[in-house]
Amino acid sequence: MADFLEFYPLRPHNTLGFDVTARYAVPVRSEDDLVQALDDARVASRPVLVLGGGSNVVLTGDLDAAVLLMQIPGYRVDTVSDGEASLVTVGAGENWHATVLRTIADGLPGLENLALIPGTVGAAPIQNIGAYGVELRERFHALRAWDRQTRRFVTLDAEQCAFGYRDSLFKQAGRDRFVITAVTLRLPRRWQPALGYAELARGVAHLPAPRPEDIRDAVIAIRSAKLPDPAHLGNAGSFFKNPVVSAPLRDALLREHPSLVSHQQADGSYKLAAGWLIDQCGFKGWREGCVGVHDRQALVLVHHGGGSGNDLMALAARIADTVAQRFGVRIEPEPVVI
Ligand code: EPU
């Protein structure tokens, strides 16, 4: 039977390090734990929040909620019948980065571009994690989840998960409906390096034939140089999504701001670098009381300690308003605000 912890401090469970409590917290170590916890009156009568690594949430105050601390373990490798790929099924509570390292050590490359992303495996599909030219959806086979509406375990494939840029079913129509318990990754046997991201390509340019291990190490080096370690400085990675705008709007902005950073999308629209927009407004390294903007990456908001999620959201609103005034483009927060 799952343990119920009362007035449980969540500070170690969110990488921004906000000091809030949950009315109940329940460690979930198996699918049975999960179903039992959800059936308990203390959980059924309250909002439910599933926390993995807590690396993509902003907790704005004490929660009269039941927090499920997702800790389901598991790691299993299968080979698909045609031998073209390995399917790696991983428990939702496993650490994402540890999983990346383990697959590479097992001779199953494909996740190296996604090294050092904080959080758990179960959280990865929710925002379709992506970095250095690879998104989770490109390595995704299926996931298993408890459907709170039909009270059954279901298997959802990539199409059903409706992945988008930092988006999925689980942030849209399926929000609060599904609890992910395991994710199956599809890692093709025939490995090809993904070096489309210029800074990463430069990082391995001295190697005639970079191996997955070399790419993993280059990604770790780039991330460590730019992104703060949550163990030392509270943060939730990129705080805003890169806004997508039409080609005419991007062209107009480029005429006015020749150093604008933008990337064309498959449909002809452009993704603008939100970090650049924020940087241009002078916020890099900005501090407002206990919260601020990272001094090496303007897209990352930080918590220096002693502040609240509301302080951070006030700063985020101010940044978004300033960017909108200056560039006429609205930037949206990426983490889930609770
Ligand atoms: N830039 C600035 N000033 C800044 C930050 C960025 O001018 O303070 C400009 C740089 O010129 C740079 C461009 O913006 O060329 C893009 O920056 P970067 O390459 O660091 O990537 P990003 O767009 O800031 C995105 C993801 C990251 C991911 C990197 C690498 C989003 C919201 N963020 O960041 O994901 O690691 O690309 O692929 O899409 C996360 O989601 O938490 C995250 C860290």
CATH code, 155: 3.30.465.10
- Residue 308's closest CA among 11, 10, 59? 59
Residue 165 CA: nearest ligand 1 atom is 39
Same domain, 155 and 240: no
Same domain? For 250 and 289 the reply is yes
Query: Whose CA is closest to atom 6 on ligand 1?
Result: 275
- What is the number of the ligand 1 atom nearest to the C-alpha of 271? 23
Does any ligand 1 atom lie closer than 6 A to the CB of residue 276?
yes
CA 182 – ligand 1 centroid, Å: 29
Centre of ligand 1 to C-alpha 273, Å, is 7
Kindly state whether residue 289 falls inside one of the protein's structural domains: yes
Q: Which of 107, 178, 170, 189 is nearest to 148 (CA)?
A: 178
Mean pLDDT rounded to a whole number for the chain: 97
Please tell me the total count of domains within the chain.
3
Residue 81 pLDDT more than 80?
no
What would the two tokens of residue 18 be? Answer: 């906000």
8 A C-beta contact, residue 182 and residue 141:
no
Q: Does 12 fall in a domain?
A: yes
Confidence (pLDDT) at 172: 95
Residues of 312-321 as b/e, b for ≥16 C-beta within 10 angstroms?
A: bbebbeebbe
Same domain, 18 and 82: no
Q: Does 119 lie in the same domain as 65?
A: no
Residues 250 and 280 in one domain: yes
Q: Return the percentage of the chain with pLDDT > 90, whole number.
A: 98
- For ligand 1, is residue 132 a contact (CB within 6 Å)? yes
Residue 144 Cα to ligand 1 middle (Å): 31
Query: Is the CB of 46 inside a 6 Å radius of any atom of ligand 1?
Result: no
Q: Which residues contact 272 (CB under 8 A, 6 or more apart)?
A: 242, 243, 244, 245, 250, 253, 260, 261, 262, 329
Of all protein residues, the one whose alpha carbon is nearest to atom 29 of ligand 1 is: 131
Residue 79 pLDDT grade (very low, low, confident, very high; cuts 50, 70, 90): confident
Would you tell me how many other CB atoms lie within 10 Å of the CB of residue 108? Answer: 20
Residue 88: what pLDDT? Answer: 98
The conformation of residue 30, written as its DSSP 8-state character, comes to S
CA-nearest residue, atom 5 of ligand 1: 275
Give the three-state DSSP class for 64.
strand
- Which has the minimum average pLDDT: 72-86, 107-121, 169-183, 235-249? 72-86
Of all atoms in ligand 1, which is nearest to the CA of residue 127? Answer: 41
Domain coverage including residue 41: 5-70
Question: How much of the chain exceeds pLDDT 70, in percent?
Answer: 100
Q: How high is the pLDDT of residue 80?
A: 80
Q: Are residues 326 and 238 in the same domain?
A: yes
Structure tokens given for 325: 């005034």
Residue in this structure with the two tokens 């650049």, named with its chain if needed: 276
Q: Examine residue 223 and state whether it is found in any structural domain, yes or no.
A: no
* pLDDT at res. 85: 94
299 Cβ below 6 A of ligand 1: yes
Structure tokens at 196: 């489309």
Could you tell me if 338 and 54 are in contact, meaning their C-beta atoms sit under 8 angstroms apart?
Answer: no
Instruction: Say whether pTM exceeds 0.85.
Output: yes
* Ligand 1 contacts CB of residue 334 (under 6 A): yes
- The predicted model gives 172-179 an average pLDDT of 96
- Return the best residue to mutate from 113, 195, 202, 238 for the ligand 1 pocket (most ligand atoms within 8 A of CB): 238
Q: Which residues are catalytic?
A: 166, 238, 334
Residues 56 and 22 in one domain: yes
pLDDT tier at 134, thresholds 50, 70, 90: very high
| Ligand 1 nearest-atom number relative to CA 238 | 42
How many CB atoms are closer than 10 A to CB 189? 15
The kind and range of the H/E element at 158 are helix 158-161
Q: Is 167 in the pocket of ligand 1 (CB under 6 A)?
A: no
Amino acid at 300: V
Asked if 159 and 169 touch (Cβ cutoff 8 Å), the reply is: no
* Ligand 1 pocket residue status of 275, Cβ below 6 Å: yes
Q: How far apart are CA 135 and CA 112, in angstroms?
A: 11
Starting at the earlier edge strand, list the strands of the sheet with 270-272: 244-245, 270-272, 262-264
Q: Pick the last residue of a domain from 163, 188, 213.
A: 188
Confidence of residue 215 (pLDDT cuts 50, 70, 90): very high
The mean per-residue pLDDT over the stretch 183-209 comes to 96
Per-residue pLDDT band for 2 (boundaries 50, 70, 90) equals: confident
Q: What is the mean pLDDT of residues 226-245?
A: 97
- pLDDT at position 26: 98
User: Ligand 1 pocket, 294 CB below 6 A?
Assistant: no
Residues 29 and 93 in one domain: no
pLDDT category, 152, cuts 50, 70, 90? very high
| pLDDT value, residue 113 | 98
CA 95 to CA 73: how far, in whole Å?
A: 9
